[in-house]
Amino acid sequence: MILDQLTPVDGALPGALLTEITELYVANRHFFALSGDFPDPDDIRIDQVAVELARELKHPDTEVLLARSEGRLVGIAITLAHHPDPADPDPWIGLLMVAPQRQGYGRQLAQLVEERFRAAGRPAVKLAVLQNNPRAMAFWSALGYLVIGHREDRERNRPCAVLRKEL
């Protein structure tokens, strides 16, 4: 698996790349039905994905990482080097999504993200899991993440478990 940082070209994302990312989002309909991130999880469109990615990319501490295997987009990770709360020293994984083929892509992508933070000298990483997503909770727990609290997310006030892993 190879990770590439998503970088706009002349302020925009190439159409072919947006199409690939949108296909990945569409393949994860179940997550978007739980999250409510898009108005209709059965009709996620390129323009909506472009708006979401642009919103993410405007934050200077955010990285959007694309995971490829054999040249094919198999995952995306959105990370935040510094949490908006200055008292929180840990980086965050805001989104980790993979093609739903059960090929181990999720585990590989999570490990590559952790390695990036470890190489940057970060001692731990955090993330939030929606309370209504037991599959995600099982995934992250199996990777060694521990629940350290519960709160609503900052953007949509959805109940979440906050998890942390020492690196």
pLDDT of residue 12: 84
Q: Which residues contact 104 (CB under 8 A, 6 or more apart)?
A: none
Its pTM stands at 0.93
In this prediction, residue 11 carries a pLDDT of: 78
Question: In this structure, are strands 159-166 and 124-130 parallel, antiparallel, or unpaired?
Answer: antiparallel
What pLDDT is recorded for position 120? Answer: 96
* pLDDT value at residue 140: 98
Q: Over the stretch 121-150, which tens digit does the pLDDT of each residue have?
A: 999 999 999 999 999 999 999 999 999 999
Block residue for tokens 């840990």: 90
User: Which pLDDT score is estimated for 127?
Assistant: 97
The low-confidence residues of the chain, meaning pLDDT below 70, are none
Contact (CB, 8 A) for 36 and 30: no
CATH, domain range 2-9+60-166: 3.40.630.30
- Residue 148's contacts (CB-CB under 8 Å, 6 or more residues apart) are 126, 162, 163, 164
pLDDT value, residue 85: 84
Q: What is the pLDDT of residue 19?
A: 96
What pLDDT does residue 88 have? 92
